[in-house]
Structure 1
Amino acid sequence: MEELKRSVRKKYAELAVGRRRGEKESCCGESPGRVSDLARGSYEGERGEVPEELVGGSLGCGNPVALAELSPGEVVLDLGSGGGLDVLLSARRVLPGGRVYGLDMTDEMLDLARENARKAGVENAEFLEGEIERVPLPDASVDVVLSNCVINLSTDKPRAIAEAYRVLKPGGRLAVSDVVFLRNRDALPRPVREAVELWTGCISGALGRDEYASLLAEAGFEEVSVEVVSTYEPESIEGLDTQEMREALGRVPVASASVRATKPEAR
């Protein structure tokens, strides 16, 4: 697991450095049908709000800002904020009076996000260094937790979900775009489950759809929903080096999903 975490950190540090050089490589490739292409299409309504290169460089698999239905004055946390796209979009929606925190474990991504915030003229956003399994914020301190194709990268998903629950205020909302398997991932052969490239590419670390919902419920969340947005064809996924791998992902399909949940009101 530590090796996987180091690989994830290295991969996204390289992507951040590439972004600052003007490179367009994504976490999941550039061919039609890949996760990154779906994410870019999800932000059509937000083009013009932030620099175009930030929308075009999304590393996510959806638009959690749209899921969250943010209101002025709310405090928001984005888990794994990357280059800051969802933070900057959220920051505009919670004005006046609201604030947004972006959390990322990669120094290079944090530098890129802060630069993007300066370019966009956003002042009510703050980027924090840390891991989503250990959020550096107090209990019950935010109204909304967002995440975009990041929880699948965690090596301790129950803890990451528990941390999201901890920092939410009673009645707070979770709005996540993520990758899920449509069947139990245990049905995948070991080469698929353990391929580092597939993990850093947002595939092999994904939860099953039902498992995701169960973990949220076990953490205490209510009104849990995991809705499939788009299923990926095996041919569109990088890192499937053998026919066995491609056939395995044909039997256990992988998809993007919109994940919502609510922390119960205090009783």
Structure 2
Amino acid sequence: MGTQDTKDATRRAVREQYGHVAQEGEGCCGPGCCGAAATDIKDLSAQLGYSEAELQAVPGGANMGLGCGNPQAIGALQAGETVLDLGSGGGFDSFLAARAVGETGRVIGVDMTPDMLSKARANAEQGGYANVEFRLGEIEHLPVADASVDVILSNCVINLSPDKPQVFAEMYRVLRPGGRVAIADVVARSELPETIRTDMRLYTSCIAGASLVSEIENMLEVQGFTQIRIQPRDESTTFIAQWAPGTDVQDWVVSATIEAVKPGV
């Protein structure tokens, strides 16, 4: 897990990288992020599982092509629910969630990058989203009250945390009994070689920080989550290969959907 100084250094690197992405408006396959040639964001989002209707439904600039899946597809959001979006970026998934939960529902986006937060708030104003708010904070220390949300969404963000057990502890804390987790993230197929694990460029590109499926299952179980389901998406290797051209990262990591439930009382 590393020392506190190491964790803070990792967070700084991630914050700086995604601050740059927010300023430049480039997605995760843009030259400002992963070193690849720019990819059409709508085409990429379609590969991730978003429908054309979803892509058309959000303000321009909210979809930055930063995800690795579509957590909405497994979230099964209901009207009136309170949703928490971890690492909300430009607000893409938060705005889609807001449409699903309706006027009686609420969406809270949390991001640790001020530039991303400013972008998301501007997008919310542009789109007239009265039921969405964005808060500055780390996903290891959520600015959210205990037992206050029904669903947690996250899209390719938890792999970036240097303290994943703390992230899952915070998720458990803020969920109401019976609350659920719907995550799209990158997981490791096997133990990553040191050349990948120690490459900060690959870390901020959502690769080097990936955990094994068994490790994620254990972290969720330790916190008390049940109904844990982690499903790798083998087809994701096509776009993951674009994140670090000239390497074989697609042989080591894969996108997966992660579901879990906090037991009810």
Q: Counterparts of 1:19-168 in structure 2 under 5 Å?
A: 19=25, 27-28=33-34, 38-41=44-47, 42-44=49-51, 45-55=53-63, 57-168=64-175
Indicate yes or no: 2:237 matched with 1:232. yes
TM-superposition CA deviations, 1:24-49 (whole Å, max 9, x none): 65744555999996544322241221
Name the amino acid aligned to 1:8. V
In the alignment, the residues of structure 2 paired with residue 191 and residue 36 of structure 1 have an alpha-carbon distance, to the nearest angstrom, of: 32
Q: 1:234 to 1:128 in 2, by over 3 A?
A: closer
Question: Quick check: 1:30–1:36 contact (8 Å CA) kept in 2?
Answer: no
Q: 1:24 to 1:70 in 2, by over 3 A?
A: same
| Aligned partner (choices 203, 226, 236) of residue 199 of structure 1 | 203
Q: 1:177 to 1:33 in 2, by over 3 A?
A: farther
Identity percentage over the alignment? 44
Structure 2: tracts of 5 or more residues without a match: 1-6
TM-superposition CA deviations, 1:145-194 (whole Å, max 9, x none): 110000000000000011011100000010000000122x2xx3322111
Name the amino acid aligned to 1:71. Q
Question: Quick check: 2:36–2:244 contact (8 Å CA) kept in 1?
Answer: no
Q: 1:26 to 1:100 in 2, by over 3 A?
A: farther
TM-superposition CA deviations, 1:182-225 (whole Å, max 9, x none): 22x2xx33221110000000000011112111211111110001
Q: Residue 145 of structure 1 aligns to a residue in which SS?
A: strand
In the alignment, the residues of structure 2 paired with residue 77 and residue 190 of structure 1 have an alpha-carbon distance, to the nearest angstrom, of: 34
- How high is the TM-score relative to the length of structure 1? 0.86
Q: Residue 97 of structure 1 aligns to a residue in which SS?
A: coil
* Superposition deviation, residue 81 in structure 1: 0.3
Residue 252 of structure 2 is matched in structure 1 by: 253
* Superposition deviation, residue 96 in structure 1: 3.0
Name the amino acid aligned to 1:63. N
Residue 19 of structure 2 is matched in structure 1 by: 13
In the alignment, the residues of structure 2 paired with residue 229 and residue 36 of structure 1 have an alpha-carbon distance, to the nearest angstrom, of: 19
In the alignment, the residues of structure 2 paired with residue 154 and residue 237 of structure 1 have an alpha-carbon distance, to the nearest angstrom, of: 22
More moved, 112-121 vs 143-152: 112-121
Q: 1:30 to 1:85 in 2, by over 3 A?
A: farther
Q: Residue 62 of structure 2 aligns to a residue in which SS?
A: helix
In the alignment, the residues of structure 2 paired with residue 260 and residue 235 of structure 1 have an alpha-carbon distance, to the nearest angstrom, of: 21
Structure 1: tracts of 5 or more residues without a match: none
In the alignment, the residues of structure 1 paired with residue 55 and residue 45 of structure 2 have an alpha-carbon distance, to the nearest angstrom, of: 13
In the alignment, the residues of structure 2 paired with residue 219 and residue 96 of structure 1 have an alpha-carbon distance, to the nearest angstrom, of: 32
The number of aligned residues is 254
Question: Quick check: 1:170–1:264 contact (8 Å CA) kept in 2?
Answer: yes
Residue 4 of structure 2 is matched in structure 1 by: none
| Aligned partner (choices 2, 5, 8) of residue 2 of structure 1 | 8
- How high is the TM-score relative to the length of structure 2? 0.87
Question: Quick check: 1:28–1:34 contact (8 Å CA) kept in 2?
Answer: no
